[in-house]
Structure formats: C-alpha cells, structure tokens
Structure 1
Amino acid sequence: MTKALQNDWIWASGTLWSELTMLGPSTRECWNDAPGCGSGFSVPEIHAWANLNAFIARLTRADLAGFWVYAIWAIRDALEVERKDYEPAHKPERAAKLLDAYVPAAAAWIIVMGRELWEKDEDLTPKNPNQEDPARGGALWKGKSAFCKERWDLWATRFEALSGMEDLMTETREIAAEIFARMEEIKRTAAP
C-alpha cells in the first residue's frame, strides 16, 4: 500500500469492510447507472435495475445502511410521474419502455420492505429552504416530501392502473397487479 493510499480518508479507521465506508458512494454510483444511461432498456438491463433496487432495499431493511430515500426515488420514477411518449430526456424510448424498466424496480421495494414502508411515517422536507428536496414527489404526488399513508395509497392506485396498461410488457403488468394486491394485503392486515 502506498503512503498516499494509507493517508486516504477511506483508510482512516484502519479497516475498510467492517465499517462499509465505501458502501454509500458505491451504491450511489451503481444507482446513477439506471436503465437508459448506457445499455438502454434491454430486458437484462431492466432485470439488473430491479435486482439493484432489491439489494439496496435489503441493505436498508437489515439496517446496514439508511437508504430509505432510494425507495422514494425508485417509486417516484415508476408511479409519481406521468410518462408520455418521447420524453425529451429519453427521446428514442416510448413511455411504456420506461415503465417496463421502472415498475419492477419500484416493486422490489414493496417486495422486500412493504410492511416497513407502510409503517414508516416520516416527513423528509428539508429544514433549510436552500437545501435540495430529494424526497419530493413527482407530478402526480401533491403531498409533502414524506413517507405517509396517503403516498402509499397513491402508489397502490398507480400499481393497479399500470396492471391494466396494454402497452406494457406482460411481465410488468403482472408485477404491478401482484404488488397492488400485496400492498392492499399489508394495509388490510396492519395493526390499527
């Protein structure tokens, strides 16, 4: 190991993996490689995106990392944005292709952490007005930047609507229907 590397902040604790120092930056770097950023919207890319979201959800559920806001990001992209064909950011892609990529990733959060997301009631509105609002809603969410029951209800309604959207892949529609049913079951069986 070089002197420069020994003095790097990564090694300040004397250990690397026991504290997972690079987990946050590494996770964010992977997150930034969402579908459409390199490999387009191929089926392997869609599955990799859902798997990454499931992995991040598992890290969060195990309390190894506090990546709760990633749930909002994934679910917002799938359910809180009105997708229109040929969005400027994804000109060659149709809205259905975006949803085919984003819906399974959002579903991964409900599969792994559904009960925890239902129970989480936290306002994430920044205290400083100059601070960015990472938990803000998409155009379809008019509520606060928070985990709350009202946002959960919007998500469930959107999964239900997407389950009947003929332009989506059959797999995406089936996932949306399954997740809607799971969300309704979680809500129904939740302690009052």
Structure 2
Amino acid sequence: MWTQLPTLTNEGSDYDLEPHLAVLHDYFEGKIYSPEAAAKLASAALALDASLEAQLGQLWHLLLQIACKDPEHQDKLVDILVDMSYLPDVTRPGDHGQDEPLILHRKQVWKDLPMLDWEIRRPWDYSVPAPGTKDPEEREAAISRTVNVNHFLALLVATDEPIFEWGSLFALMTLRIALETPWEQMAPEDPLVAWIPAAASWIEVLGAEIYEWDEEYESGPLVGAPGSGGPLWKGKHGFCKERWKLWRDRFGEAARKEDESEQVRRVAGEAELMMKEIETGLVE
C-alpha cells in the first residue's frame, strides 16, 4: 500500500503524471534509491506527450509542489535533483546525421536542469494574502509555502553543487525582505509570520557559509540591482559582514517585538543566537 502523500496528485496539471507519481511513491517508500529514481523520473518526463518545455516544467512543478507542501521530503528531493544533474547527456539526431545535445534555453538536459530556477521563482514570488482578504486556510498555506520554498532553496545551495549556485541570490532577497525594511513599512503581503521563518531557514541551514560570503552582484540598466538593499541598507550590493550584522540585529529586534506572535519572536531569537554563535566560532 502506498504511503499517504496527499500532494502526489495531478493537481494543477492537464497532463498524465501517473508515471512520475509511481516513481516518487516507490522512492519515498524506500523501494528504490535516488540514482534509480532520478533516471526513472527523467525517462517519465521525456516520455510525456508535450513539448520539451512542458515536459521539464511539469516535472519541476511536481517536485516543488511536494517540497512546499510536504517539507519532510525535501532532503530526498534534493538528492534526486543532484542525481538528475549527473545523468548522461540527452541527445537527438542533428541536421548532419550526428547526435546533438538536447538544449533548452541554452541549458543542457540534464546537466543544467533547464528551467528549474525559473520554476522555483514562481512559488518564491507568490504573495501572502493580507489578513481578512482570503480564507484563513489559504493564508496559512501561503505562509507555509514561503517558508518551505526558502528552506528547500537553502538545502539546494548547501549541496555546494555548482548547478545550484544561483540560489544564493534568493538568500539575499529573502533576508532583505524580512529584515531590511522598518516594521511599520512592511507591506501587508509580506508579513513577518512568513518572512522571519523564511529568512531564519537560510541561517539554520547555511548560516556559517553565508557569514563568509563576500559576493557583490552586478547592477546596471540591463540587469537591474538584484543585490541592492532595503531602506535600512545602503551599502554593498551583496553579502558582507556589515550586512550580516544588520540582519542579526534585526532578528534581535523581531525577537523582542511585543505585537508579534510568540512563534515569530521565538524563531527570530533562535536565528539571532545562531548568528552570534557563528560569529564566535561555536557553530561551523
């Protein structure tokens, strides 16, 4: 009997994903290991009666749906994505009779996991409904999604696989949203109940590494300013010790914010403490 995994459905898809779901059920039940699951999922994806873009988009959407709704499976999902990136190159017949790599948006299948970063951006970008505008259950689901997608991203970056290096920008953007705007200026769709735990996930999973990061992001008319700060940060467009200190202090302020929930204060306090321990070498 299959383990009860309510998110393993075709919800939100017009395609037949039963082959994908069968592989994932076997994987989560321990009947197969990650390398085999990765190969079977890849085959199921490319067998889908759809364009290559839809084949990959449906696969990533399914995996992200599970990561956001059932975070207890995130470690296994990370393993399967890593193993997919090491699958043999997919080729197709070329115009001159020679096989050519299968490329989508200048990325190679499977080595570059094309479109995964785009698909992750979707749940990361979703806003949280302001109180009273939606059913409480819908708002709670949006809050959980924000927290869980950030935790999943942190786990991907923590693998140190080059394929996931792009994820570090999500760390910066999440910490900026949560901690670089005065509380009274926070937008209703960016509540601390979502973004403080989301930011804390990055510290919990990757804090010691983030403390050492010194990357600065390019800015300009063509690329915008992805590393820029919120109202409380006017410095480097990237990671640095000074910005880390601002984040730590803001976690501390959130931990003492009397009009915030006990959960938010607790999570913020734990993040502040971990950051202090990282600075003193107690956490590596």
The TM-score bracket by the shorter chain reads: 0.7 to 0.9
User: What's 2:213 paired with?
Assistant: 120
Aligned counterpart for 2:246 among listed residues 145, 154, 158: 154
Moved more, 9-18 or 70-79: 9-18
Aligned counterpart for 1:164 among listed residues 240, 249, 256: 256
Larger Rg over CA atoms: 2
1:57 paired with 2:57, answer no
Q: 1:45 Cα shift?
A: 2.7
Contact 1:35 1:46 in 2 (8 A): yes
Residue type of the partner of 2:244?
Answer: W
- Deviation sequence 1:139-178 (CA, Å, 0-9, x none): 0112111100000000000001110001111011000000
SS of the counterpart of 1:146? coil
**Alpha-carbon spacing, 1:111–1:39, altered in 2? closer, same or farther (3 Å):** farther
Contact 2:251 2:268 in 1 (8 A): yes
SS of the counterpart of 2:198? helix
Contact 1:125 1:144 in 2 (8 A): no
**Alpha-carbon spacing, 1:122–1:7, altered in 2? closer, same or farther (3 Å):** closer
SS of the counterpart of 2:51? helix
User: What's 2:139 paired with?
Assistant: 42
Contact 2:123 2:146 in 1 (8 A): no
Number of residue pairs the alignment of both structures matches: 183
Residue type of the partner of 2:247?
Answer: W
Moved more, 108-117 or 59-68: 59-68
Give the fraction of aligned pairs with identical amino acids, expressed as a percent. 34
- Deviation sequence 1:120-157 (CA, Å, 0-9, x none): 0112142x454300111000112111100000000000
Q: What stretches of structure 2 of length at least 5 have no aligned partner?
A: 1-46, 57-89, 91-100
- CA-based RMSD: 3.2
- Measure, in 2, the Cα distance between the counterparts of 1:7 and 1:69: 24
Residue type of the partner of 2:51?
Answer: L
Q: What stretches of structure 1 of length at least 5 have no aligned partner?
A: none
Aligned counterpart for 2:198 among listed residues 99, 105, 109: 105
- Deviation sequence 1:12-65 (CA, Å, 0-9, x none): 627855542121111011212232398778334323211110101111111241
| Larger RCO (CA under 8 A, 6+ residues apart) | 1
TM-score w.r.t. the length of structure 1 is 0.81
1:81 paired with 2:174, answer no
